[in-house]
Amino acid sequence: MAAYDDRDGHIWMDGKMVPWREAKVHVLTHALHYASSVFEGERAYEGKIFKSREHSERLLRSGELIDAPIPYTVDEIEAAKAEVMAASGLTDAYIRVVAWRGSGEDMGVASQRNKVRMAVAAWEWGAYYGDAKMQGAKLDISKWKRPSPETIPSAAKAAGLYMICSMSKHAAEAKGCSDALMMDYRGYVAEATGANVFFVKDGKVHTPLPDCFLNGITRQTVIGMLRDKGVEVVERHIQPEEMDGFEQCWLTGTAAEVTPVGQIGEHRFEVGALARLIAEDYEKLVRGKL
């Protein structure tokens, strides 16, 4: 694949379609220095973005949470995404919408005089964890913890929240793992670096309570699917030592979709029937076949 700044195509930027290679910002852009940025990652299947409007609504909420209100409505964001999809010529695609404080009169911590900008791009992107959907992903356990919601707006999909995720994933990849599982500031199981986690024991599904990390749209979708099947889903605080007793595990996220997990640290899981069923049914759902 070509570098992300050197591709053919167009990107929607501040209300206009611009050639891909010309979609640039100044080096003194506030977000580059202070992480004053929020984003959404979305997937289109057969030409339709799954849960598109929910993603646009969350983008606006994220902007408000980091005090960078985005100057577009949900309908305007939806129109921009539709324009990008049409220009890309893609039917199955990953869509990235990003909003940030640009360059302007402020270059200190405060940035209220700097305009909030927005861009939308789309590209082809396959399985996030490669062949893990069949074999089960292997996860490291990160030394970094998800912070308390008293220290950062954890309900926002904000760039600054991902710094320790990148560091955790780099360390995991160096060990031959696909990703890393993170604990929260209290020591409870939280999430992977860009995906929520689910466990199975005795026919019940257990998933961490999202009280200090993002309650993912895919997470919510999968919980609804499980409950529709009559499967009991328990949202609760999970101690790390409980992983020894769980039988199955999977990750959920827009990029990850539903990916079974075979190992987290020293804890091993079977890629079992429920994990496979939910992965298969999710694939049907996003393509309008369920």
Cite the active site residues.
Answer: 157
What are the residue ranges of helices labelled H in 115-214? 132-135, 163-174
**For residues 167 and 225, what is the distance between their CA atoms, to the nearest angstrom?**
33
**For residues 142 and 159, what is the distance between their CA atoms, to the nearest angstrom?**
19
Q: Dmax over Cα atoms in the chain, in whole Å?
A: 59
**For residues 287 and 49, what is the distance between their CA atoms, to the nearest angstrom?**
10
Task: Tell which residue, 245, 149, 257, 265, has the closest CA to residue 201.
Answer: 245
Which amino acid type is present at position 65? L
Neighbour tally for 124: CB within 10 Å: 11
